[in-house]
Amino acid sequence: MRECGMLLPIASLPSKYGIGCFSKEAYEFVDQLKEGGQSFWQILPLGPTGFGDSPYQAFSAFAGNPYFIDLEQLVGEGLLTEDECEEADFGDDDRYIAYDKIYKARFKVLKKAYERWKKDHHQFIKSKLDPETIEYCFYMAVKDHFKSASWNKWDKDIRLRKPAAVEKYKKMLADEIGFYEFQQFEFNEQWSRLKAYANENGIRIIGDIPIYVAFDGADSWAHPELFQFDEECLPKAVAGCPPDAFSATGQLWGNPLYDWGYHKKDHYSWWIKRMEYSLKLYDVVRVDHFRGFEAYYSIPYGDPTAEFGHWEKGPGLDLFARLKKSLKKEELPIIAEDLGFLTPEVHEMLKESGFPGMKVLEFAFDDSENSDYLPHKYQENCIVYTGTHDNETLAGWFDSITKEEQNMVRDYLCDHYTPKKYLYKSLNSLVMRSKAALCVIPMQDYLGLDNSARINFPSTLGTNWRWRLIKSDLTKALADSIRKQNIVYGRVMWEDLQEDEKPKDPEEETETETEPKQKKDSSVKEEKD
């Protein structure tokens, strides 16, 4: 089955109050996807973000980002007024998110909604939230109490979760905990409605789960036994990547590493809960850094770079076998993010898993003519992207590569004539006609935008996760163009084609064309007789 999808983070949607959310514009985007013949909408992780605003560094693996709560729906529920929303400063740039203003304004507005809401609803809320989500709400209330400090900076009794301290803070911060529970309730309700609308219109959601969780988060604080921590609940080692051609000092991510021995003894119960939660949010889960399950890079805690780390064995397929058994699924709806340098062991693990891996067109045209990312080498069981959220846009990428690489691209396309500003269309078509079962193209590449529309520049801070669509980007002409392309390359389901879009049987066409002529000839003959 050949299908196609589009990559666009929730935050990048157009909407009224500074950031993309579960607003009417999100529903309109689903309509656009349907009109364009898409089967999937790929988003980024939906978790609550912290410093740096990265969705891959969330405060919990079991909570949603309150930025995505649609304020207009709260107005409709009588929890806010339009004036209260309009008076808040969410920024005045429709193209780029002003996170500093969003952070300062949104929680103040949500607090007003909570004060009205709690009178009637607060006592019923806990039954609608997962226990881990409730744990996150407690964590955030305590974090606010300590002026947003990471939990390793808290007073020792609550940092180490002494039972007496836990009870003390739960009583002392009951209203603050309730505020976060309200946010999660509204997030769940609004997202469930939007996802249901997408599913009803034939659109499935692809979401991400990062392999690691943030150190400054509820997961590591509430469950230190899951991680490689010492008696003071500080990491013994952290995650990252070793030095390579792109970085002489490697990448120091800083995430706590799992104690996989403990997870195995516990039958991977936390991972089962995590996957259950994720499959409530998404139809398909893209597992980030899949190679880390085969082997992970361990860096001594406190090291300033990743130069002196070493590799350790991960759980391998044992984890996924347990997930499959516990979730009672013949096949897990997982996409394996298998980008970067992979060992033979990782290749074997991916093959045995049966999960589709990823191919990225932008990786195909380096100084080698034997790249595994060249479209003619794809197997059917893979997902092809022009680029991901971590890559340049197609147009920006083509501008940035060498003249020799540009010539390689044009040689491969057999096209030295299309003006550069339109070449993105040919590149989109290239991945569409590949053998890959699913093709996912970022919205920016359908629009032919340059790197000013880039989502993320890895290993940098300050300008990431900010780009947004504006309403004028979404036109019927664009949807029609995308749909036509998908039909040409057989990525629209037959049942979704309109009658005038379905290929005609040549024999039927011949009969239709000749029948009037035969009648005409017959009448002429009769007149002559």
Q: Backbone phi, then psi, for 285, in 5-degree steps? A: -110, 120
Q: Backbone phi, then psi, for 254, in 5-degree steps? A: 85, 0
> Which residue blocks in 201-342 are alpha helix, DSSP H?
218-222, 260-265, 269-281, 317-327
**Dihedral angle over CA of 161, 166, 168, 170, nearest 10:** 140
Distance, CA of 404 to CA of 408 (rounded, Å): 6
Calculate the alpha carbon distances from 79 to 27, 113, 338 in Å.
22, 5, 45
Reduced to 3 states (helix: H, G, I; strand: E, B; else coil), residue 255 is strand
Distance of CA 87 to the CA centre of its chain: 31
What does the angle CA 374 – CA 377 – CA 381 come to, to the nearest 5 degrees? 115
- Using the Cα atoms of residue 185, residue 190, residue 191 and residue 195 in order, give the sign of their dihedral: positive
Distance, CA of 330 to CA of 381 (rounded, Å): 17
Is the CB of residue 71 less than 8 Å from the CB of residue 15? Answer: no
How far from each other are the two terminal CA atoms of the chain, in whole angstroms?
A: 58
Is the CB of residue 293 less than 8 Å from the CB of residue 323? Answer: no
Distance, CA of 388 to CA of 339 (rounded, Å): 11
Active site residues: 288, 337, 390
Give the DSSP H or E segment for 204.
strand 204-209
Strand order through the sheet with 204-209 = 334-336, 284-287, 204-209, 40-42, 3-7, 438-442, 382-385, 357-360
